[in-house]
Structure 1
């Protein structure tokens, strides 16, 4: 019989995200909106991103997080 994995706390989940190679190098991280809402909460997640100065774009059920404080330039 398989057991469900132990749930992670919101703090653990955010720690895993922020310690990823892409995040530590100022790159881009993508997370499913449904995962964010289930594990951390949308408002709390966006507040943490604001506190860090990161930009977040939501599209097609994903959050794309730019793990730096550089300005975004959208090219259409």
Structure 2
């Protein structure tokens, strides 16, 4: 049986997402855009990312969140 509740609230979803080891280590995490929009909403998601001083990009149906305050450079 899973430890997840049947209904995941937005606040609980954020706690789970930002509790990942990669976040604590200043790494990256990714989430499907469709899941974020369905469960949380784009505006709330981006607000929570910015509130933490992180950056996010969107590509191919994924949000990639850089869990640090370092600059992000797109290389062609």
Judge same fold: TM > 0.5, yes or no.
yes
**TM superposition score normalised by structure 1:** 0.90
Q: Which residue of 1 aligns with 2:7?
A: 7
The aligned runs of 1:53-68 (5 Å cut-off) are 53-68=53-68
CA distances 1:16-60 after superposition (whole Å, capped 9, x unpaired): 110001111110000000110111110000011111111100001
**TM superposition score normalised by structure 2:** 0.90
Does residue 45 (structure 1) correspond to residue 45 (structure 2)? The answer is: yes
**Structure-2 separation of matches of 1:45 and 1:23:** 15
**C-alpha RMSD of the superposition:** 1.0
Structure 1 residue runs of 4 or more that deviate by more than 3 Å after TM superposition: none
The number of residues matched between the two structures is 72
Q: Which residue of 1 aligns with 2:75?
A: 75
**Structure-1 separation of matches of 2:53 and 2:7:** 28
Structure 2 portions without partners, runs of 5+: none
Structure 1 portions without partners, runs of 5+: none
